[in-house]
């Protein structure tokens, strides 16, 4: 389901997904989550794309979830239609076949930081702030803030944000490993584009497999990563071609174990 507030553009081998709701600091509602999922399908379905940039329109990256979008939900609706669905969408983004670079042109708080964490590389402008303020509202991070963020950044920094409500600057975030590069105001997207083009010059198959291997080593989505790696490998074998041919010709396959 496409949503006009989730924009997808292409520049050569690089795709850009832009969260475009600047009047609400790019805060997400349900339709935007659906739009992000659709954007992931669009990007992954384009075989020419080798890297994806994720950014926000206006002065914010994303303020996370729109409070008005979930405040009136019943506990059941909140847990399933909001939290679990959002978690699945962010997981879809995190497991795109190509590297994702988050261009943090503005604050990334709560769900916005969880969104940024789904990227492989984070490039932050110097003025931004990073944090998980949810417990100040009487709720907890629900879009992988206590899971993916712990695996990627470490438990202690997440404790400081989620329990103590600490908000970090871009420079502090760099020292803590929350972001990978800090650039001047207005330079995040341009820097991300250059980084994406750098990735695009490398072997696409090797990059995709390397991303999967790192995910396994980081204990992130091991089942999917292992099955993807195994399926890619087996799909290139002569045995698979023989098995498919034998099925079509209604005969017993003759496997040779050739890679």
The residues annotated as belonging to the active site are 114, 134
In sequence order, the β-bridge partners of residue 15 are 10, 52
Q: Are 47 and 104 in contact (CB under 8 A)?
A: no
Residue 66: strand, helix, or coil: coil
Q: Are 110 and 63 in contact (CB under 8 A)?
A: yes
For residue 237 the two structure tokens come to 């074998």
For residue 163 the two structure tokens come to 């329990």
Instruction: Annotate 138-188 with DSSP letters as a single string.
Output: T----SSTTTHHHHHH-HHHHHHHHTT--EEEHHHHHHHTS-SEEE-TT-H
CA atoms within 13 A on the CB side of 220: 23
In sequence order, the β-bridge partners of residue 14 are 11, 51
Radius of gyration for the chain, computed over Cα atoms and rounded to the nearest angstrom: 20
CA atoms within 13 A on the CB side of 184: 0
Q: Are 26 and 20 in contact (CB under 8 A)?
A: yes
Q: How far is CA 250 from CA 18, 24, 140, 239, in A?
A: 50, 60, 56, 16
């Amino acid at each position: 389901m496409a949503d006009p507030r989730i924009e997808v553009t292409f520049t050569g081998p690089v795709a850009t997904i832009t969260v475009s709701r600047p009047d609400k600091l790019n805060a997400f509602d349900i339709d935007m989550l659906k739009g992000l999922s659709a954007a992931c399908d669009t990007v992954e379905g384009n075989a020419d794309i080798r890297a994806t940039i994720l950014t926000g329109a206006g002065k914010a990256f994303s303020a996370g979830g729109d409070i008005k979008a979930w405040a009136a939900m019943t506990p059941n609706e909140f847990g399933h239609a909001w939290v679990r669905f959002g978690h699945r969408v962010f997981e879809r983004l995190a497991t795109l076949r190509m590297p994702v670079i988050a261009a943090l042109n503005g604050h990334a708080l709560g769900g916005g930081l969880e969104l940024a964490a789904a990227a492989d590389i984070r490039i932050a402008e110097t003025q931004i702030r990073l944090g998980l303020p949810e417990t100040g509202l009487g709720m907890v991070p629900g879009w992988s803030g206590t899971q993916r963020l712990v695996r990627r950044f470490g438990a202690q920094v997440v404790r400081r944000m989620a329990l103590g409500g600490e908000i970090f600057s871009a420079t502090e975030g760099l020292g803590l490993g929350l972001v990978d590069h800090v650039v001047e105001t207005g330079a995040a997207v341009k820097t991300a584009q250059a980084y994406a083009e750098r990735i695009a010059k490398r072997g696409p198959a090797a990059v995709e497999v390397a991303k999967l291997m790192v995910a396994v080593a980081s204990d992130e989505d091991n089942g999917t990563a292992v099955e993807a790696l195994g399926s890619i490998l087996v799909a290139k074998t002569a045995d698979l071609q023989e098995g498919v041919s034998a099925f079509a010709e209604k005969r017993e396959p003759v496997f040779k174990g050739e890679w």
